[in-house]
Amino acid sequence: MKVEEKKVAVYEGKDIKFIELENAHGLKAVLMNYGATLISLFVPDRKGQLADITLGFDTFEEYLGKNPYFGATVGRYANRIGGAKFVLEGKEYRLAKNEGENHLHGGIKGFDKVIWDVQLKENSHSAGVNFHYLSPDGEEGYPGNLDCQVNYLLTDDNELHISYLAATDKPTHVNISHHSYFNLAGEGKSHILEHELQIFASKFTVVDRQLIPTGEIKEVGGTPLDFRLPRLIGERIAKVEGGYDHNYVLEGLGALSLAARVFEPVSGRLMELYTTEPGLQFYSGNFLDGTIKGKGGQVYDKYAGFCLEPQHFPDSPNKPQFPSTILKPGENYKSFNIFKFMTK
């Protein structure tokens, strides 16, 4: 196991660090304390050849430009809150509006754009880094000082563990997620339409044109959203207006459960995602449009990567029928996720 950090810049008076975690099989994760971001993930194919399977940039400075949350930690509230407001214990809170009238991924300066403290962790079977950030009361409109931790841990079983912990001093809403864009063929190589995807969910949350849930929960059966059995991402994508950008209702009920499996036939890479969260956003990279040049100057076109974001349902603060995202003083917010890599 190897853990290494290097300082790459100073920004807003703080050191920006790149952190490398490497396991015994050469699987390597590169992280950054700006946004508690996963920059790269080098994973072997069936011949043992490593490729970086996440979209992103080579330098810290590029992350400050146009960046659709590549590899970022998203919070305080991943996904959308309709009308950028909610009422909690009789009081209305107005959040930053950063997608029309709505609030997306924590607002204008969400967790993806703040600088986290870094602590490296290493033992004989795993290499990890702990990121810590204290989000002040009122930040982006949210109540409460929120003390947050993101832990990334790489194990010798080729698993990347991502856990989130948070505590507050006032009632608030929390929903933290991970926003890597994966391409199991290797980033920048091709689109993800020939990846085979399986999502272990039989229902999804219906959304309106602004991607805000209507409150209705529908069966996937008979729709192009049905991935209960493995299907190619591209097979029915033309039937989904705008492409896939949907929250699936997982059946794990808070226990760590297999949520999705993705296979890329040419490289043989297989990824499994396990989560304790009740929902999973499947986003097929619809808004990528060739205007972003990523690692090695490669152009990221539409469908260059896909995201699988374990989360609570979008707009839960305004949907009392959804699993609650309220966090109260004295309680601990916990979310645990595993991305596991194999070949077939």
108: which residues sit within 8 A by CB, 6+ positions away? Answer: 96, 98, 140
Q: Residues 35, 56, 68, 278: which binds ligand GLA (CB under 6 A)?
A: 68
Residue 112 is a binding residue for ligand GLA (CB under 6 A): no
CB of 13 to ligand GLA, least distance (A): 28
- Asked if 280 contacts 311 with a C-beta cutoff of 8 angstroms, the reply is yes
Cα distances (angstroms) measured from residue 241 to each of 49, 160, 220, 227: 37, 33, 15, 17
Amino acid at 318: N
CB of 55 to ligand GLA, least distance (A): 11
Scanning 25-33, 109-117, 147-155, 279-287 for contacts with ligand GLA by CB under 6 A, the matching segment is 279-287
Near ligand GLA in 154-193, by CB under 6 A: none
Residue 196 is a binding residue for ligand GLA (CB under 6 A): no
Closer Cβ to ligand GLA, 69 or 341, answer by number? 69
Residue 213 is a binding residue for ligand GLA (CB under 6 A): no
Residue 69 is a binding residue for ligand GLA (CB under 6 A): yes
Near ligand GLA in 118-157, by CB under 6 A: none
Closer Cβ to ligand GLA, 72 or 146, answer by number? 72
CB of 145 to ligand GLA, least distance (A): 26
Q: What is the largest CA-CA distance in the chain?
A: 59
Give the distance, in angstroms, between the CA of residue 162 and the centroid of all CA atoms in the same chain: 10
Distance, CA of 146 to CA of 76 (rounded, Å):
9
- Asked if 344 contacts 46 with a C-beta cutoff of 8 angstroms, the reply is yes
Site string for ligand GLA, 301-340 (x = CB under 6 A): ------x-x-------------------------------
Q: Which residues pair with 161 in a beta bridge?
A: 153, 338
Closer Cβ to ligand GLA, 118 or 150, answer by number? 150
Q: Is residue 173 annotated as part of the catalytic site, yes or no?
A: no
Q: Is residue 309 annotated as part of the catalytic site, yes or no?
A: yes
- Asked if 204 contacts 248 with a C-beta cutoff of 8 angstroms, the reply is yes
Query: Is the preceding peptide bond at 76 cis, omega within 30 degrees of 0?
Result: yes
The CB density around residue 304, as the number of other CB atoms within 10 Å, is 24
Scanning 54-62, 145-153, 280-288, 315-323 for contacts with ligand GLA by CB under 6 A, the matching segment is 280-288
Strand order in the sheet with 245-249: 213-219, 203-207, 245-249, 279-283, 307-311
Residue 287 is a binding residue for ligand GLA (CB under 6 A): yes
Closer Cβ to ligand GLA, 68 or 278, answer by number? 68
Q: Residues 45, 140, 245, 315: which binds ligand GLA (CB under 6 A)?
A: 245
Q: Please, what sign has the CA dihedral across residues 233, 236, 238, 241?
A: negative
Distance, CA of 288 to CA of 290 (rounded, Å):
6
Q: Residues 102, 135, 180, 281: which binds ligand GLA (CB under 6 A)?
A: 281
305: which residues sit within 8 A by CB, 6+ positions away? Answer: 54, 55, 181, 182, 183, 187, 192, 285, 288
Residue tagged active-site, from 105, 173, 178, 179? 179
Closer Cβ to ligand GLA, 92 or 208, answer by number? 208
CB of 132 to ligand GLA, least distance (A): 24
HSE at residue 297, side-chain half, CA atoms within 13 A, is 0
Residue 73 is a binding residue for ligand GLA (CB under 6 A): no
Residue 100 is a binding residue for ligand GLA (CB under 6 A): no
- Point out the residues that are catalytic: 179, 309
Which stretches of the chain bind ligand GLA, using CB under 6 A? 68-69, 79, 104, 211, 245, 281, 283, 287, 307, 309
